Amino acid sequence: MDYKKIFKRETKVIAYMVICLTLLVMGVSYALFLQVNSNTKNQVVTTGSLQIEYSAQNDIIVGENDCLMPQSNDEALHGNACSYTLSITNKGSLPMQYNLLIYDDDVQLPTGGKKVSHSLIHHSLTKSFGEASSTVSSGTALGDLPLKENKRLLETNTIAVGETIVFHLKIWIDENAPSEGENGIIGHYVYLKLDVTGTVYENETATEVLTATLDTSGLSEIILSTLDEANQNIIKEYRYSGKNPNNYVFYNCSNDEDVSTCETWRILGIYNINNESHIKLIKDTHEEEKPWDESKGVSYSTSSLNTYLNAYYSNLSETAKGQIGAVTYKLGGAENLEFDSKTMYDYELKSANDISLYVGLMNVSDYAFASSLKEEDFVSTIISRNENNWLFTGKEEWLINKNTSNQVYKISTNGSIEVAATNEAKLIRPVVALQSSVKIIGGDGTKENPYMLSK
């Protein structure tokens, strides 16, 4: 059926599509509503900390523009959909959490008039921030989006102080939408409204931000056998696992105002250290290839590795130094690798051999957790899970802890964990622990949009 001919013949099929803008900033005693139905110029609204700019050409008349015609996702994404641009700028002094929502406008329809089902309205959403950009959704039906206060949630994220995010939204009707009947589109209407809500991000810790992404980012909870004796609570920690979890973060920037000067690190997980939650980061690339100890020693405190990582810490930016603290690294472990990751971690925690470090390396359990949190998966069989281990690189690198025979461990090129001679040269991937006061003030953890940290 040729929808375009039908739509051009039926002038009242879908009268028009209107995107309006509503802005609500928490902490302000009113909601500011901006109607832009006949906008011919960009309109800017500032309230609270957020400034919203909505582009022109928001009034789409079907008789004059075929952008809302039923079409395939491919046709729509290549320029035939109705397009809208919206930007958000944080003009305040604190990071903000924003929600970008879309929902049906409450308009008076003609007698018998109905609105097109959200399941038949498809959309794509991209965003750009500085020199970076990312795709939020592509070809998804509005009806598949989660609901937040009876509105469809296009995206939720944080916006840093001074940051501007530009959104590009496309809307179109599914090419397989029925033309007639109860759920048909002929004679039905599309009236949609955008809504931006914002809250000050001041009180959320980085741990709260990350744990809010459970089951969607690759972060999973582990419950330790150790009890918090003071409160008789079971201690919970979290680890990222899988092929490519959303755990990217900017760190060690030479210019705090320019993310292009930052290094890309990744988050190992959330650790309970002295009854405080600390997020540990690992560099996404290796440093130099060095021996554990040039003199063949096995003591970490006097090792060449420790000397190298102390010098590495000295060369971090001042902001990076202020974001991390010295924490306890457990240097012992089990007698062998015939244990699951959780049991291996328990052996590490019980080790009396420890050291306080600003920069360390990952443990055996860190590497094991990255591929599996299952109790039936032994660390000795970890090679079979390479494809599902985001820490596997196919290169040899050092781990920080040893077995009960005082032998040091390496990750081999095939992904297995093996005993190594301390005078062998292996790659080094630094690990640091964030101060509990550091917050996540931007990004979503994807490779295209890593998390941003507060100073």
Q: What is the pLDDT of residues 155-167, one digit of tens each?
A: 888 787 788 999 9
- Per residue in 14-50, pLDDT (tens digit) is 333 444 444 433 322 222 222 333 334 456 666 566 7
Specify the higher pLDDT residue, 154 or 3.
154
**Whole-number Cα distances in Å, 357 to 40, 430, 433:** 60, 11, 9
Average confidence score pLDDT of the chain: 82
Instruction: Pick the most confident of 127-141, 315-329, 431-445.
Output: 315-329
Specify the higher pLDDT residue, 439 or 408.
408
Phi/psi at 98 (5° precision):
-120, 155
Q: Which of 180-184, 276-280, 387-391 has the lowest mean pLDDT?
A: 180-184
pLDDT for the residue 203: 54
Q: Which of 122-136, 181-195, 297-311 has the lowest mean pLDDT?
A: 181-195
- pLDDT confidence band for 66 (50 / 70 / 90): low
pLDDT exceeds 80 at position 396: yes
pLDDT exceeds 60 at position 8: no
Q: Which CATH superfamily includes the segment(s) 3-200?
A: Golgi alpha-mannosidase II (2.60.40.1180)
**Nearest alpha-carbon partner for 327 in 347, 354, 303:** 354
- Per residue in 236-255, pLDDT (tens digit) is 899 999 999 999 999 999 88
pTM of this structure:
0.62
pLDDT for the residue 33: 27
Contact yes or no for 443/450 (Cβ under 8 A) = yes
pLDDT for the residue 276: 84
pLDDT exceeds 60 at position 12: no
- Could you state, in order of their start, the residue ranges of all structural domains in the chain? 3-200, 206-453
Task: Return d(Cα 154, Cα 151) in angstroms, integer.
Answer: 9
Residues with Cβ within 8 Å of residue 445, at least 6 apart in sequence: 213, 217, 245, 246, 247, 248, 249, 267, 451
Residue 336: Cβ-neighbour burial (10 angstroms; 0-12, 13-18, 19+): middle
